[in-house]
Structure 1
Amino acid sequence: MVQPDVAVRNLRPAVSSDLLIDGELRPGSGGTFEIVNPATEEVIGLAADGTTDDMDAAIAAARTAFDTTSWSRDHAFRARCLRQLRDALQGHIEELREITIAEVGAPAFLTSGPQLEGPINDLGYCADLAENFAWETDLGRAEPMGIPNQRVIKREAVGVVGAITPWNFPHQINFAKIGPALAAGCTIVLKPAPDTPWCAALVGTVIATETDIPAGVINIVTSSDHEVGAQLSTDPRVDIVSFTGSTATGKAVMTAAAASLKKVFLELGGKSAFIVLDDADLKAACSMAGFSVVTHAGQGCAITTRLLVPRERHDDAIRYTREAMAGLEAGDPTEPGTICGPVISAVQRDRVESYIALAKDEGGTVEIGGGRPEKQPKGFFVEPTLISGLDNSARAAQEEIFGPVLVIIPHDGDEDAIRIANDSPYGLSGAVWGTDPDRIAHVVDGVRTGTMSVNGGIWYSADVPFGGYKQSGIGREMGALGFEEYLETKAVATPA
């Protein structure tokens, strides 16, 4: 992986942070709000503060663009615009990289993959879908009630998409909604998280000044007020809400959307299990589990945060995992070797620390970490933390912490490991390490989750659908299935 050229710690990118509404860049009606670098606690700039009036204008623009233009029907034009956007963003890649590291606190190495370059490149995959998708399917002739008919199934864009996105992987999640929705022929209103508005605002500037995407097709409203995003769930002009975030907020989105019976896509929380079988290379598996949970300070919904190990190897597993995490200290995200950067805010750091304290109260033992790193006096850092001594009923083992905290739990064989993994309200991701392919296949089949990694396999890719079971969400993002979330189905019959 190519390491980005980022040498300074206190990045202060110069970013134009306007709203994008109906093809125009404009200031927020609420003025501006401050953006804080989570690695330094310094204010690095201002973002446009959109209001409910701005959101109303954005929704109106998206509705008009969908209803009155040929955007939804011109598949070739949409594909060209998507490739044009990809190429234009690649021309801003270093500026975007600096913003992502400074605003998100993302470790620099991740910007070569899912934090930046991967999602931008994936716009090309979305363009290919727009060009090559079977928009019509001929069902042939049939004679219901003795009447000859020719039948066709048409796939059409849903309409206006309200996209609400979080702060942890802003480019990945923004483009996982923007790309497929545009490819499908929808128009969009994007409300990004207030913690990371620049990542979306610069994209809006590029769209407005360097692409042929028509006015109103995509609108971006940054705001410090979460209620501005909530309008997307209740406004009848919005046809589908695509939300990524916490399960609690996802439930609120679904409830609000019910009044207008709009479609809802939800990609929510996770408490994924990393299962180690008794025939696995224990040291390698535990090292990978430790690496995974500290990546981006554990701020990923699909990160495995429960490590299930054979009971008879429990002590060895603790030692191997502790050794791996000891070499992955929380550090400066601008340094190429950093894996664990800061968490996004003081509020999030307090949340993570409260769960570590709770784990101790529940009888857990902090094997390593548990505090703030002495080498980082500034910034919202939490030490990589391993907790033992808890069973799967403990809150620290059941609830999503969203920090670099791993709970290690013993299991009594393959069936018990599957049982523990499934004993969760979530079902987003998971991993299994072992040697016997039949046993591995049994675990993969048994764990109720949307993605599974086998012996370190990487499922993340533009063509792989991502989403979860149970309270981890509804629907799939990315891949052909994610694209089809933004389509409706129409059956047409004509006399034969």
Structure 2
Amino acid sequence: MSDVVGESVALSPEVGRMAAERAEFRMLIDGELTKAASGAAFDNHSPATGLLLGTTAAAGEEDMLRAIAAARRAFDESGWATDKALRRRCLEQLQAALESEKEDLRTELIAEVGCPAMTTRNAQLDWPLAEALRYPAGLIDDFAWERVLEGGGLFGDRNQRTVVQEPVGVVAAICPSNFPVEVILNKLGPALAAGNTVVLKPDPNTPWNATRLGRLIAERTDFPPGVVNVVTTPSNEVAGLLATDPRVDLISFTGSTAVGRTLMRAGADTMKRTFLELGGKSALVVLDDAKPEAALRSAIGVCVHAGQACAATSRMLVHRSMFDDMVGAVAGAFGMVPVGDPALPGTLVGPVISAAQRARVLDACDRAVRDGARLVTGGGVPTDLPEHLADGHFVQPTVFATENPDLAIAQEEIFGPVLVMLPFSDDEEAVRIANNSAFGLAGAVLSASAERGWSIARRIRTGAIGVNGGMFYGADAPFGGYKNSGVGRQCGIEGFQQYLETKTVGFRLPRQN
């Protein structure tokens, strides 16, 4: 196929056509690729053009319950939970299968997610494909599954205690639309390597990357039936069964804080364990000794993929001595950021995922103006897009400035290419403003002094933070949030352990003569 990220002629309508030709429309349930029992399907539209790409099976209650039953049976009755060699082999087979269709998957992501082609070279595809399965597969052999504690006997008996790590059981993996492959692989990798079975529920706006994975599992791997099930549905009621069914042991969810709270409440009656990677309103702190050009580069980060990243630094805190100059420089840079067709290699800002999401972003901008924030640039819909993008869901890169860190624009997650700039007078105030948030997911600090930057970073209540451009991302690095940004961590040893239960076994040993 043509290299969609390398040819200027590869416009989104053509990319959508190519994606539709190679898409998988069926679900994977109990080892079978299947339509919905009712025959129902739902539409998959391109967020860049608004055009219909195709359809996907729309699961009903019967389909979801069948998938849950299959996952439960595979965990309870197959050897998956105990056969480490099988788990490693299956993950390696899936890795090879995904790599063999990497370029088709890239085309698919650009078409249905609307992500700029350049982002598929990093966090959208290439980075997670390189390590999200390989890292946990390596832990199958390297992880300390057991440890021995000496002592603890009664009445002089010799005693030994063995602490054993075992899989939790059936995992419901519920994934978002913004970085679907990255999130799916970083959920499936550790969950499966740990010995769990999975019901994967992708976002209905971006189902094809998940159904492709289901087809590869069915056709190219030795996964036992029911170990992985991929259930696509636009119905919140059907998806909600994952939170209420007692056969599901753990909910692994990435998405909004509001939905995370709903899932936690729904799972409480059956005492489900929960991993929730939720929203953010992360701060980029620019100290008075920071280089302006570095601050400018960091500010543009909120424009990447139209700001649809939970870790995006959407609050920019700038020392008051350089605030006015930095506001002007950021506004100028935002005005030159390439907005347009995500299939073209130079595009940085593509569409947001849906018309509803664009309306939410624009409403937030309108409210910010009413609240008294100064609109520096943007705040609306681009007017210079080519005709084939006229029905796409685009928002202008937008900058607000305000002295009030309590405004909604500085407190609420927007999930669009919207930056709010706030001044501070000293390091203490910078930390105070950064921590003045219900969220605590990510962040960044810029300073000429690494020691000063490190000191600020340690005081900001957030799950991940970069100093002077340092990157915290990786399959071996735990990622998750404080406060309303979630519960638990994805990736790393900490993320692997979330998919495990701990059992302590005591042995009474024979007395020594």
Fold similarity call, TM over 0.5:
yes
User: Could you say which residue in structure 1 is the equivalent of 2:496?
Assistant: 483
1:185 pairs, out of 180, 189, 195, with 195
- Structure-2 separation of matches of 1:49 and 1:485: 30
Which deviates more, 38-47 or 112-121? Answer: 112-121
Structure 1 residue identity aligned to 2:464: T
Which has the larger displacement, 111-120 or 390-399? 111-120
Structure 1 position 151, deviation (Å) = 1.2
**Alignment-derived partner of residue 111 in structure 2:** 102
Distance (whole Å) between structure 2 residues aligned to residue 172 and residue 144 of structure 1? 51
1:356-377 alpha-carbon deviations (Å, 9 max, x no partner): 1011101112211111111223
In the TM superposition, residue 112 of structure 1 has moved relative to its aligned partner by 1.6
Is the 1:287–1:320 Cα contact (8 Å) retained in structure 2? Answer: no
Task: Output the CA distance in 2 between the equivalents of 1:204 and 1:437.
Answer: 46
Range 141-150 or range 318-327, more displaced: 141-150
> Secondary structure of 1:339's partner?
coil
Answer whether contact 1:314 1:410 (CA < 8 A) is retained. Answer: yes
Distance 2:115 2:352 in 1: 9
Secondary structure of the residue aligned to 2:269 is helix
Tell me how far apart the structure 2 counterparts of residues 287 and 315 of structure 1 sit (CA, whole Å): 17
65, 70, 92: which one aligns with 1:61: 70
Deviation at 1:118, TM superposition (A): 1.9
Instruction: Structure 1 unaligned segments of length 5 or more: list them.
Output: none
Once residues 154 and 318 of structure 1 are traced to their aligned partners in structure 2, the CA distance between those partners, rounded to angstroms, is: 55
Q: CA deviation at 1:145?
A: 4.6
Residue from 241, 253, 256 that aligns with 1:246: 256
Aligned match of 2:335 in 318, 322, 326?
326
1:141 Cα deviation from its structure 2 partner: 3.8
Partner residue of 2:134 out of 124, 133, 139: 124
Please say if 1:400 is aligned against 2:403: no
Higher mean alpha-carbon deviation, 319-328 vs 397-406, is at: 319-328
The question of whether the paired residues in 2 share the 8 Å contact of 1:119 and 1:175 is answered with: yes
1:367 alignment counterpart: 376
Is 2:319 the partner of 1:310?
yes
Q: Distance in 1 between matches of 2:481 and 2:402?
A: 28
Q: Secondary structure of the residue that 2:314 maps to in structure 1?
A: strand
Conservation of the 8 A alpha-carbon contact between 2:152 and 2:159? yes
Alignment of 1:46-445 (within 5 A): 46-122=55-131, 123-289=133-299, 291-376=300-385, 377-445=390-458
Q: Distance in 2 between matches of 1:283 and 1:116?
A: 28
TM-score by length of 1: 0.98
Number of the residue aligned with 1:453: 466
- Write the distance in 1 (CA, Å) between the matches of 2:179 and 2:105: 13
Q: Is the 8 A contact 1:362 1:390 kept in 2?
A: no
Supply the distance in 1 between the matched residues of 2:4 and 2:330 (Cα, whole angstroms): 26
Native 8 Å contact 1:3 1:112 kept in 2: no
Q: Tell me, what secondary structure is at the counterpart of 1:146?
A: coil
Conservation of the 8 A alpha-carbon contact between 1:283 and 1:317: no
Q: What residue number does 1:16 align with?
A: 24
Q: CA deviation at 1:8?
A: 3.0
- Change in CA separation of 1:350 and 1:54 when aligned onto 2, cut-off 3 Å: same
Distance 1:120 1:284 in 2: 29
| Unaligned residue ranges in structure 2 (runs of 5+) | none
Decide which of 28, 46, 52 is 2:36's aligned counterpart.
28
SS in 1 for 2:246: coil
Within 2, Cα distance between the matches of 1:84 and 1:112?
A: 22
Query: Secondary structure at the residue paired with 2:53?
Result: strand
- My pick for the range that moved more, 396-405 or 22-31, is 22-31
| Deviations 1:325-356 (CA, angstroms, capped at 9, x unpaired) | 12213211001111111000000000000011
For the residues of structure 2 that align with 1:48 and 1:375, how far apart are their CA atoms? 36
> 1:445 is aligned with what amino acid?
R
Distance 1:145 1:370, change over 3 A: farther
Q: 1:196 Cα shift?
A: 0.4
How many residue pairs were aligned?
Answer: 494
State whether residues 427 and 472 of structure 1, in contact with CA within 8 Å, keep that contact through their aligned partners in structure 2. yes
Q: Which amino acid aligns with 1:383?
A: Q
Q: Deviations over 1:261-304 (max 9, x none)?
A: 11011010000000001111123213321x21000000000000
Which amino acid counterpart does residue 226 of structure 1 have in structure 2?
Answer: N
Most deviating of 159-168 and 366-375: 366-375
The answer to whether the 8 Å contact 1:34/1:46 transfers is yes
- Does the residue aligned with 1:260 lie in a helix, a strand or coil? coil
Letter in 2 for 1:434: S
Greater shift after overlay, 434-443 or 158-167?
Answer: 434-443
How far did residue 158 of structure 1 move?
0.2
Q: Give distance in 1, aligned partners of 2:155 and 2:165.
A: 26
Q: Write the distance in 1 (CA, Å) between the matches of 2:408 and 2:489.
A: 28
Q: Is the 8 A contact 1:163 1:243 kept in 2?
A: yes
Percentage identity across paired residues of the two chains: 48
The Cα shift of 1:391 comes to 1.3
Question: Could you tell me how far apart the structure 1 residues matched to 2:123 and 2:445 are?
Answer: 22
Give the whole-Å Cα distance in 1 for the aligned partners of 2:375 and 2:37: 48
| Offset of residue 140 of structure 1 | 2.8
CA distance in 2, matches of 1:87, 1:141: 47
Which residue identity is paired with 2:398?
T
Residue 443 of structure 1: how far off its partner (Å): 0.6
- Residue 289 of structure 2: SS of its match in structure 1? coil
Answer yes or no: is the 8 Å Cα contact 1:167–1:195 preserved in 2: yes
**Offset, 1:3:** 8.7
For residues 101-158 of structure 1, what are the alpha-carbon distances to aligned partners after superposition, in whole Å with 9 as ceiling and x for unaligned?
Answer: 0000011011122111222222111210112111111223443453220111100000
Q: Answer whether contact 1:363 1:390 (CA < 8 A) is retained.
A: no
- For normalisation by structure 2, the TM-score amounts to 0.94
Tell me whether 27-36 or 333-342 shows the greater mean CA deviation: 27-36
Q: CA deviation at 1:458?
A: 1.1
